[in-house]
Amino acid sequence: MEDKVTINDVAKLAGVSKSTVSRYLNKGYISTEKQERVRAAIAETGFKSNFFAKRLKTKESKLIGIVLPRMDSVSVGKLLSGFARIFEPAGYQQLLLVSGLDGKKELQNMESLLQQGVDGIIVDSVGITKKHKALAKSSGLPMVITGQSAEGLECIKIDDYGAGHMMGAYLRSLGHRRAVFAGVTETDTAVGVERRQGFVDGFVKGEPKARVDFVQTGFDFLSAYNKAADILSYKPSVIVGATDNISLGILRCLHERGIKVPQEISVAGFGGYDVGAVVYPALTTIFFDYELVGMKAAQFLLDKLSGKSREENLDMPLLFVERESVRNLTKGTNGEKMGFQSMV
């Protein structure tokens, strides 16, 4: 522990008062001569100002609390990259807490962060409850939610309903009438409800009637893989996974059963993970720019911190990625592009 050097030691060595050193550290208001003496003294002693003492005075921690459902997922990784790109240059650091997909833990983590004296909080939630809202209110701290949306809270997320709808409409336009949506539980409002509902709305609209069945899976490859029999029992012409990973699990199973994709069955997903491009057939999907979400959320929080409460558009762009796993039933192949590219 070399941090015995305090502002006092520096002051002594430089032959000035500690207030002068303090001023040197912060504003200016110091003669160029003493300025030099202090600089030298600091260099010599290797002085580092004590973080806690400083914060105790200034009431600003320059700390942002981040609460995450889990760490080992591509989307969370991207999100964090986005946060870092904004917070680091701004001189903020991130305090990270993981809730393990557990709502209770999520709340605990939020409280814990508040107590740590963070300046603001970002929660990548798996499901907002009234308690979340209460906490947000009572804390009085800027808080932004990511991954879910909830009234009364500031949320920044991709448009799950819109993405679902886009995919549904796309598939329908290609002549598909029987779809299975393989998705997660409804406690995940964003993915389990909004994305799915968007898909249904986009798919069943119009004549002739179309139908979508639902099969529940987890978020991982394996749980999707294991549900393949259920899924197939509905005799769909297209299977859409709520997530690229789900679709990948399905793809694997289809392959094992010798079912050709997209010739016999089409598959699509959501997320736009890189890996979807290297599997065979490459997965048609909708790309979500989680890194951008992270950046927007971080910037939004920073703006709140500095008073600017800009109420601008928080919709994230959606990018349709048409690849090889979906067949165009109206043409007989999947060759024809339909100008269904980058959309918002």
State the residues that interact with a second copy by CB under 8 A.
Answer: 1-3, 46, 48-53, 55-56, 61, 63, 66, 70-74, 76-78, 80-81, 84, 88, 93-98, 112, 114-117, 138-141, 220-222, 225, 248-249, 251-252, 255, 274-275, 277-280, 291
Shortest approach of a second copy to residue 289 CB, angstroms?
12
Q: Using CA atoms in the order 195, 220, 261, 266, what is the torsion angle rounded to 10 degrees?
A: -10
In degrees and rounded to multiples of 5, residue 93 shows phi and psi of -115, 160
Shortest approach of DNA to residue 52 CB, angstroms?
8
Query: What string marks each residue from 31 to 60 as x (binds DNA by CB under 7 A) or -?
Result: x-xx------------x-xx--xx-xxx--
Shortest approach of a second copy to residue 163 CB, angstroms?
20
DSSP class of residue 159? Answer: -
344 binds, among a second copy, DNA, none (CB under 5 to 8 A by kind): none
Provide the H-helix boundaries in the chain.
Answer: 7-14, 18-25, 32-45, 51-58, 74-87, 103-115, 130-139, 160-173, 196-204, 221-226, 228-233, 244-256, 275-278, 290-305
Per CB under 7 A, the segment of 26-34, 79-87, 255-263, 284-292 that binds DNA is 26-34
- Helix-helix angle 74-87:290-305, to 10 degrees: 40
| Number of chain positions touching DNA (CB under 7 A) | 26
Q: Is the dihedral of CA 210, 214, 215, 221 positive or negative?
A: positive
The CA R_g of the chain, rounded to the nearest whole Å, is 26
Q: Strand pairing of 318-321 and 342-343?
A: antiparallel
Q: In Å, how far are 88, 93, 240, 241, 254 from 265, measured between CA atoms?
A: 46, 48, 11, 13, 9
Residue 58 or 342 with smaller CB distance to DNA: 58
Per CB under 7 A, the segment of 16-24, 168-176, 182-190, 252-260 that binds DNA is 16-24
77 binds, among a second copy, DNA, none (CB under 5 to 8 A by kind): a second copy
Contact 254, 286 (CB under 8 A): no
Shortest approach of a second copy to residue 204 CB, angstroms?
30
221 binds, among a second copy, DNA, none (CB under 5 to 8 A by kind): a second copy
Residue 34 or 133 with smaller CB distance to DNA: 34
In degrees and rounded to multiples of 5, residue 78 shows phi and psi of -65, -45
209 binds, among a second copy, DNA, none (CB under 5 to 8 A by kind): none
Shortest approach of a second copy to residue 262 CB, angstroms?
15
19 binds, among DNA, a second copy, none (CB under 5 to 8 A by kind): DNA
Binding status of residue 116 toward DNA by CB under 7 A = no
Rounded to whole angstroms, the Cα distance separating 95 from 60 reads: 14
Please, what's the largest Cα pairwise distance for the chain? 88
Residues of the shown chain interacting with DNA in the complex, contacts defined by CB under 7 A: 4, 6-8, 16-20, 22-23, 25-26, 29-31, 33-34, 47, 49-50, 53-54, 56-58
